[in-house]
A = this chain, B = another copy of it.
Amino acid sequence: MDVQKKRIAIDMDEVMADTVGKLLRCYNRDYDDCITMADLRGKKLRHVAKCGLEVYRYFDDPAFLRDLDVMPDSQEVIRALQDRYEVFVASAAMEVPASFAAKYEWLREHFPFIPPSHIVFCGDKSIINADYLIDDHTYQFARFRGQGILFTAAHNVEETGYPRVDNWREVAELFLK
Task: Give A133-162 as 1s and 0s: 1 = Cβ < 8 Å from B's Cβ atoms.
Answer: 000000000000100000000000000000
> What interface size band does chain A fall in?
20 to 34
Q: Which of B90, B101, B116 contacts A101 (CB 8 A)?
A: B101
Name 6 interchain pairs, CB-CB below 8 A, sorted by A. A95-B116, A97-B116, A120-B127, A122-B122, A126-B129, A127-B129
What residues of chain B lie closer than 8 Å to A128, measured between beta carbons?
127-129
CA of A145 to CA of B4, assembled, Å: 13
Copy number in the complex reads 2
Bound Cα distance A122, B114 (Å): 13
Distance between Cα atoms of A100 and B93 in the complex (Å) = 10
Contact flags (1/0) for A9-35 with B, using CB distance below 8 Å? 100000000000000000000000000
Chain B min CB distance to A112 (Å): 14
B123 close to A122 (CB less than 8 A): no
Asked if A111 is an interface residue, CB under 8 A from chain B, the answer is no
Complex partner residue of A117 from B94, B105, B129, B130, CB under 8 angstroms = B94
With a cutoff of 8 Å between Cβ atoms, the chain B residues found around residue A93 in the complex are: 121
